[in-house]
A and B are shown apart, each in its own frame.
Chain A
Amino acid sequence: MSSDAVTATTEPARDPDAPPHGLGVSLPAADARAKTEGTFPYAADLWAEGLLWAAVLRSPHPHARILSIDTTHAREMPGVRAVITHEDVPGTPVHGRGTADRPVFASEVVRHHGEPIAAVAADHPDTARMAAAAVIVEYEVLDPVTDPEQAFEAEPLHPDGNLIRHIPLHHGDPEAAGDVVVEGLYRIGRQDPAPIGAEAGLAVPRPDGGVELYLASTDPHADRDTLAACYGLEPERVKVVVTGVPGATADREDRGFQIPLGLLALRTGCPVKLTATREESFLGHAHRHPTLLRYRHHADAEGRLVKVEAQVLLDAGAYADTSAEVLAAAVAFACGPYVVPNAFIEGWAVRTNNPPSGHVRGEGVMQVCAAHEAQMDKLARNLGIDPAELRLRNVLATGDVLPTGQTVTCPAPVAELLQAVRDHALPPLPKDAPEDDWLLPGGPEGAGEPDAVRRGVGYAVGMVHMLGAEGADEVSTATVKVHDGVATVLCAAVESGQGFTTLARQIVQETLGIDEVHVAPVDTDQPPAGAGCRGRHTWVSGGAVERAAKMVRTQVLQPLAHKFGMSTELLQINDGRITSYDGVLSTTVTEAMDGKELWATAQCRPHPTEPLDESGQGDAFVGLAFCAIRAVVDVDVELGSVRVVELALAQDVGRILNPAQLAARIEAGVTQGVGIALTENLRTPRGLVRHPDLTGYALPTALDAPDIRIVKLVEERDVVAPFGAKAVSAVPVVTSPAAIASAVRAATGRPVNRLPIRPQAAVVTAP
C-alpha cells in the first residue's frame, strides 16, 4: 500500500506500545469483539415484555386487481390481536424513497410480487403468519408487464404512468463520425443486496400516543418522517432508534414492513416485533436495476474516441423509489472515465411489474461500466490495439469535461491507476508453479480439467460520484462532548459496517488528542445526518465531526492562549497533552478543562449542485472517485465455469484515513462485483421471484473470492472534501464486474455481453 502522502501532519514520536490513534492508522472497530462473540444486539435480537408478533400478507401475483379483502376469518383466529389493511392507514396512504408512489397496503391493484396487502399482530409468530394467510383476497389476475421495452406501449401500470424519467443527454456535434464504429447490446441482471441479516424491527407504543421503532435503518430521519406521515402523527411523536445493522450495501430496510409494524403497535397498545424470513427479505427490499444498454462507439484510427451514442433502459420495477437519481448517474457516466468530445445518451427508467429497484452500491454506474468497457474491448480488437493501451489513449484527467458539461475539478488520476495495474506482475501460470495446489474453475472437488482451462486477462476503469447529485441537500450534523478526558460523538450517521464510528473516533483523537472516544447510539432525537450511501458519511458526517471537535478544541485552548498571551494556533494537543510552540507551556487536556464539560455541534454541507437540464447538462455532482482493475480469470471452456484468479486494483482514495478499514472496504466491494459478474441474478420469470433464498441466489463464498491485490492507492487530496478523502466502497463494485467480463472475453474470444456471465456464454465449442 503506498503511503507517500500520509505524513503531511507532523506527528511527534509516540510511545510505540500505545494503541493506534488518530487518522491514518488502522484503529480496530470498537464493536469487533461483540460482533465476533455474538453479543452484539441486532434488530432481530430485541425482545420486550408482552410483545406481539407481526406478519405481512404479500401479493402472490405480480399484477392483479383486488376485488375484495375479507379479514373476518383472520380476526376471529384465537391469539390474533389486530388485522390491518389499506383502510387502517390514518395518514398519507403512500410512501416512497425518491417519489411517494407506493401504497402502504395495496387497495385496488397489486403491481409486484410481494407487495404488502395486510398485516397481522398476534401472540405468536406462527399465529400471525397463519392469520395473514387466512386473509381472503379475491384477485382478478392481470397480465404482468415484465419486459421494460414493452413498458412504453403498455397500459399505464400506475396513475403516474410508466415512464419514471427520461434523460436525453446531448453533448457536442451529432454529425461527428469516426473511422471505426463498434456497436453492442448489453444486459445486466437483477442483483439483490442480500444483507446477511434479514430485516427485523420492534415497535413500542408510547404513553403520549406516539410510537418508538427499533430498526436497522440506515436513514433513520427519512424513515421517521415517512412513518410519521403514514401514521398521521407529528414527526416528534415517532422515534426511530437504530439497532445493530446486520450488513448494508443498499437501502437495506423495507418500509413495507416498518410502516405496518408501528401501525400495529399503535392499534394494539403492545410492543410488536417482526423478523423477516429470507424469502420475505428478498421480496421486500429494493434490488439493483436490471438494465438493457445499446452502444455505438466511434473512434479514429489511433483509437481516440470521437463519439459515443448510447441508449440506457432501466427496469425500475413497480415503483419509482430512487430510479430517477439512478438514471441520472447512469446517463452522466455512460461513457466512463474517458474524454468523449461528442456524446448522445438517451436514458429511460420505466415501470414494470417486476420487483422494485432502488439504491444498491454503485447503482446505475455499475451497469454502464460493464457496457462501456465491453465497447472499449471491441474497439481494441477492431483496431488491433492492446486493450490497456487503447484505454490509456482516452482516459480522463483533471480539467477535462464530462459529457454533462461539468468540468472535472477533483483529482482524476485515471492514467496513473491504469498504468499501475497494467505494470503489476501477472500471477504465475500453473505450469510455472507446479508444486502449488491449483484451484481450478469449479472448485476443489469440481470437475475442472487443466487441459480445458484457458487464462484471460482483462482491464476496466470505472468512476462513481460521491454524495447525492442534482441539487440534493447533503447535510450532516454532529456533536462532540468532552468531559473527564473522555470524548463522546453524537451523530445520526448509522454504522452499517462501513466503519463510520471508527472513523469518527479517529477524527476526534486526531483533533483533540484524546484517546478514549465513544460514539453514541443513533436515534432520531439527534439532528439528521442523512442516508448512508454514496460515501456521504465519510464526507459530510466525518466533516461535521471534525468541525465540532475543532470547536471543542478552541474552547479548551482559548483560555490558556489568553492567559499566556498567544494565539490558539501556537498551541498543540498531542496524546492528551497541550504544549506551546516554544515548549514553555505544557499541561494536560484534563487539567486545562478544569472539570468543565464542553459541547460543540457543527454541520457540514458540501458545495451545491444543480439538476441536469433538458439536454442532460449541468454541474450535478459533488465529487468523483476512480478505480482501475485488471482481472485474471481461468475458464474451463468446455463447462463454461469461470474462476477469478486475481483482481489487481488501483484506486484514487484522496487520503488514507484507516488503512485496514480501507482495504476491507475495497475487498468487500470487489467481492460484491464478483457476485454480479458470475452468480448473482434474482430470477423473476413472468414477474414472480424465483428461488428467494441463499441456495438459489448464489452469493460469492470465500472460494469464489479471488486474490485481491491493492496495487496502488493514489493519495491526491480532494481539496473540497474533508481531510481530502474520497469514499472507497462503491467504485470497486462498479469496476470489477466489467474487468471480469473483459478477462473472460480475452480467455474465450466470446463476446460476453450479459452479466452475470452464464456458463454457456463462456464455452468455446469449436476447437
Chain B
Amino acid sequence: MGQREGAAGLTTHAPQAAQAVTLPTTLDEAVAALTALPAAVPVAGGTDLMSAVNSGQLRPTALVGLGRISEIRGWQYQDGHALLGAGLTHARMGRPDFAALIPALAAAARAAGPPHIRNAGTLGGNVASAAPTGDALPVLAALEATLVIAGAGGARRDVPVSHLLAGVEMLGPGELIGYVRVPLLHAPQVFLKATGRTGPGRAVASVAVVLDPARRGVRCAVGAIAPMPLRPLDAEHWVAQLIDWDNGRAIVPEALDAFGEYVAAACIPDPVPAEDGSVQQLPPAVLHLRRTVAALSRRALGRALS
C-alpha cells in the first residue's frame, strides 16, 4: 500500500486546535489557577478525563495540568503516617520501596491496568474520579485514609476518604486533593481483585485486608460491587478476636471460611422476606458475586495472616 499524500489535494495531517492549558508548579499556584478560571478542569494522568474528552462528553475550555507540581509526586513521613502526594502514579506506587511501606496500596497500583495506564494514572485521580472500580479506593477505605484538600490562600483541610466517596463532604470550587494521609501499620496487607480475564481488567470485585497489630484490629473493605467501598465492620471485629495476636497471628482455618461468608453476606445481604414471609432467591449472577467476595475475603485474610 503506497503513500497517498498529494492525490486529490489530500494529506494525512489535520491541523490541531489550540487549547488553554496552565501548568502550575506548586499546589497553591494550581489552586489559584482554578480559582481564577472556574471553568478550567484539573488534569493529572488524564486516563479517565481524556477518554471523556475524546468521546466528546466533556469539552473543557481550559485545563490546569497538575503534572509539574513536584511536591505532590512523592511522599513524606509525618508522625506514624505517610503523606502521599496525590500526583503519585500507579507505576511509582507499585515499586518495591513503596510496597514495603503500604503493601496493599502497592498491590492495587500494580493491578490497576496495563503499564501505559499505570504510568499516567495517579492516586489523586483515582480518588477524584471515584469510579466504583477504582482499585486504590478499597485500600484507602481499609486504611481509613484522610485526604488533605488544598484550598484558596494556602488553606488545607482534612477529609476522611470515606466522606468524600460517600458524598458526605465534597470538594469545593477551586479545591484540589493535595495529599492522602495513610497510617503506617508495619504489618501485612493484602489487596485481591477478581476480573473477568487474565489480562488487566476492571474489577468485578476487590477486597483489601489490612492488619493493625497495635490495636489488634483487622480492617477490610470490598470494592467494585457498590458505588463506594464497603466496610464489613462486624465481620472485622468478630475475626479480630479469633486471631491469636501473640502467637504468630494464628487462626483456625474454619474461621477464615466463616470470615469470607460473613463479609460476603454483609456486603450482599439476603433479600428481606416479603410480607407474606416468602423469600426471593438472589439471582445467579448476584450469588456468584457473593461467592466471589467470600473467596476473595477468605484468601486475603489467609494471606495476611500466613
Contact = CB atoms under 8 A, between A and B. Distances in A.
Nearest to A495: B1
A678 interface: yes
A521 B288 contact: no
A46 B1 contact: no
Contact of B8 (A204, A443, A519, A521): A204
Interface range, B side: 35 or more
Interface in B250-293: 284-285, 287-288, 291-292
A702 to B, nearest CB: 7
A701 B55 contact: no
A277 B12 contact: no
A698 interface: yes
A47 B10 contact: yes
Contact of B198 (A243, A443, A495): A443
B285 to A, nearest CB: 7
A458 to B, nearest CB: 18
A253 to B, nearest CB: 16
Contact of A446 (B7, B8, B198): B198
A709 to B, nearest CB: 18
Interface residues of A, number: 55
Interface string B116-154: 000000000000000000000000000000000000000
Given A447-B299, A521-B2, A701-B114, A49 B193 contact: no
Contacts of A45: 12-13
Given A41-B3, A243-B4, A449-B299, A47 B11 contact: yes
A278 B56 CA distance: 12
A241 B2 CA distance: 12
A241 B10 CA distance: 12
B288 A244 contact: no
A190 to B, nearest CB: 16
A439 B198 contact: yes
Contact of A760 (B3, B284, B296): B284
Contacts of A279: 55
A277 to B, nearest CB: 6
Q: Is chain A's binding surface mostly helix, strand, loop or mixed?
A: loop
B289 to A, nearest CB: 9
A257 interface: no
Nearest to B5: A41
Contacts of B197: 443, 641, 678-679, 698, 700-701, 703-704
Interface stretch (B66-74, B199-207, B231-239): B199-207
A228 to B, nearest CB: 19
Nearest to A244: B1
A128 to B, nearest CB: 11
B288 A640 contact: yes
Interface string B1-24: 111110111111110000000000
Contact of B195 (A49, A442, A521, A700): A442
B198 A643 contact: yes
B111 A446 contact: yes
Contacts of B299: 447, 449
Nearest to B11: A47
A445 B11 contact: no
B221 interface: no
B107 A445 contact: yes
A447 B192 contact: yes
Interface string A689-728: 0000001001011111000000000000000000000000
Contacts of A34: 3
A214 B198 contact: no
A760 B200 contact: no
Given A640-B288, A679-B196, A48 B56 contact: no
A495 B1 CA distance: 8
Nearest to A637: B295
Contacts of A277: 55-56
Contacts of A149: none
B92 interface: no
A254 interface: no
A204 B7 CA distance: 11
B292 A639 contact: yes
Interface of B: 1-5, 7-14, 55-56, 59, 107, 110-111, 114, 192-202, 204, 284-285, 287-288, 291-292, 295-296, 299
Given A40-B1, A700-B199, 11 more contacts: A41-B12, A47-B14, A202-B10, A243-B4, A439-B198, A442-B195, A447-B194, A521-B2, A638-B291, A701-B200, A760-B284
List 6 A-B pairs, minimum CB-CB distance, nearest first. A701-B199, A445-B111, A703-B199, A760-B288, A447-B192, A45-B12
28 contacts: A40-B1, A47-B11, A47-B14, A129-B56, A204-B8, A241-B4, A243-B4, A278-B55, A443-B195, A443-B199, A443-B201, A445-B193, A447-B194, A449-B299, A452-B295, A501-B1, A640-B288, A641-B194, A641-B197, A695-B202, A698-B196, A703-B198, A704-B198, A760-B284, A760-B287, A763-B288, A763-B291, A765-B291
Interface of A: 31, 34, 39-41, 45-49, 126, 129, 202, 204, 212, 214, 241, 243-244, 277-279, 439, 441-447, 449, 452, 495, 501, 519-521, 638-641, 643, 678-679, 695, 698, 700-704, 759-760, 763, 765
